[in-house]
Structure 1
Amino acid sequence: MPLLSLRDLAIGSLKPFSNHLYEGDCVALSGPSGCGKSLLLRAIADLDPHSGTCFLRGEACDQIPAPEWRRRVMLTPSECRWWLPTVAEHMPADMPPSWYEKAGFNPDVAGWEASRLSSGERQRLGLIRTLSRAPVVALLDEPSANLDNRNRERVERMLTAYLAEPGRAICLVSHDQEQCLRLANRFWNIIDDKVRELSELTPTFQV
């Protein structure tokens, strides 16, 4: 059984799209700027009005309370919001400090003021905020766009480790074609308001 199924999912100008994500899948989603990549992720996470239906292990989205769906199918946006004073207040109370170390921080980052974080720090901390909650499907919108090579490698190691856990899948937006090749086993491309699956990464896979 698929972990996640999309049935005639449509949002904005995007045409209805049906497909599945299976255990261990990492789908790279790309297309021209403004084509609807982020909108599609938000529709899958049930954050914006859309048509069509998503299923998690066969159970329809509308049969699962919205907060629970968004915990199991969790979006990390390209710009994570930080609304509480400190980093720790945004993280699960029982999150082991080792999560900070995986992202290249000392554990004392938990006490940092969230308002003083750089864009790259927010991005890495936003990712561990998601992965530490162990969602079934992680929806990641440009998870390493603001990072240098060293921190991008850290992010990729975290994603690889997450996928190695049973019952996990990722759908990510990335403008880094080499990263797509390293991480993804499947490729979705949006062209002319249509989402299509490519059998391999080709020049038509626009980043």
Structure 2
Amino acid sequence: MTPNNIFKIENLEKKYGERKVVDIKNIYVNNGDFFVIVGPSGAGKSTFLRLLKYLEEPTNGDIYFEGKKLSNPLDVNIQRNISMVFQRPEFLKRSVFENVEFPLWIRGKKDNEKVEKVLGQVDIGNLIREKTSSLSGGELQRLALARAMVVDPKVLLLDEPTANLDPYNVELIEKIVLNLNKAGKTIVMVTHNVFQAKRLASSAGLLLNGKLVEVGSADTFFNTPKDARVKDFLEGRMVY
């Protein structure tokens, strides 16, 4: 693993019974990258993110974070440096402030200024005392981002972060995550939205039936893909 790799994946497999949902041979994610995986529903995208976060253990293969092999129980320092935003995040039935404060609280920390700062970054600072039950879908997704950011992780894993949101919130969330990436955060995102992937990615790959068909720089992947299946997917002709 070179110093620039933050993730290294070797012969990664995940099975549920006899069904193999992830089968990825060898890839790297570079430090500071915005790596986007596109693919149809059921391709294994969410499972792949859960494996990177080690919410699920691989059936076979290894994942390395900054040169350290992930294992169960996950090293606390690694755990704290990988935050994930789920497609359908869950929240405490309390205030916006308390939800963002919670990850700090479980680490024995208190930093009201940091909580207020990240809420401002996602443009819901004015909702700090509101209950989560009163927030819109877009506001809740931005709250999930703030909660992930407050612990200052090195990596953000994003699972379809703008699914079912209106154009205003899509644009706002894209701007937020791009700014985080420009500030040095490594981002790994999965989406079925090719147009969004083009707007955000510095590198990209296509996941089909649990296998990464092609991975490369965003420019190469979207403009001159080598695999015909990538071209078909990008142009809306996926029949595989």
* TM-score past 0.5 threshold: yes
User: In the alignment, is the contact (CA less than 8 A) between 1:104 and 1:151 conserved in 2?
Assistant: no
Match of 1:172 among 182, 189, 202: 189
Counterpart of 2:172? 154
Counterpart of 2:212? 195
Counterpart of 1:79? 88
SS at match of 2:199: helix
Q: Distance in 1 between matches of 2:29 and 2:201?
A: 12
TM-score, normalised by the number of residues in structure 2: 0.76
SS at match of 1:39: helix
In the alignment of these two chains, the number of paired residues is 205
Q: Which fold has the larger relative contact order, with Cα–Cα distance below 8 Å and residues 6 or more apart in sequence?
A: 1
User: In the alignment, is the contact (CA less than 8 A) between 1:99 and 1:128 conserved in 2?
Assistant: yes
User: In the alignment, is the contact (CA less than 8 A) between 1:123 and 1:146 conserved in 2?
Assistant: no
Post-superposition Cα deviations, 1:85-113, rounded to whole Å, max 9, x if no partner, equal 222122134224232233232x2412111
> What's the RMSD between the two structures over aligned residues?
2.2
User: In the alignment, is the contact (CA less than 8 A) between 1:30 and 1:205 conserved in 2?
Assistant: no
The code of the aligned residue for 2:48 comes to L
The code of the aligned residue for 2:35 comes to V
Post-superposition Cα deviations, 1:24-69, rounded to whole Å, max 9, x if no partner, equal 2111112121111101100110001313221111111128845543
Match of 1:60 among 50, 58, 69: 69
Unaligned runs of 5+ in 2: 102-109, 223-229
The code of the aligned residue for 1:90 comes to N
Cα 1:150–1:23 shift into 2, 3 Å: same
How much identity, in percent, do the aligned residues show?
26
SS at match of 2:231: coil
Unaligned runs of 5+ in 1: none
Write out the 4+ residue segments of structure 1 that deviate beyond 4 Å after TM superposition: none
Post-superposition Cα deviations, 1:145-202, rounded to whole Å, max 9, x if no partner, equal 2322222222122212211234x31110123222211110111211233123334125
TM-score, normalised by the number of residues in structure 1: 0.87
Q: How does 1:2-13 map to 2 (within 5 A)?
A: 2-12=5-15, 13=20
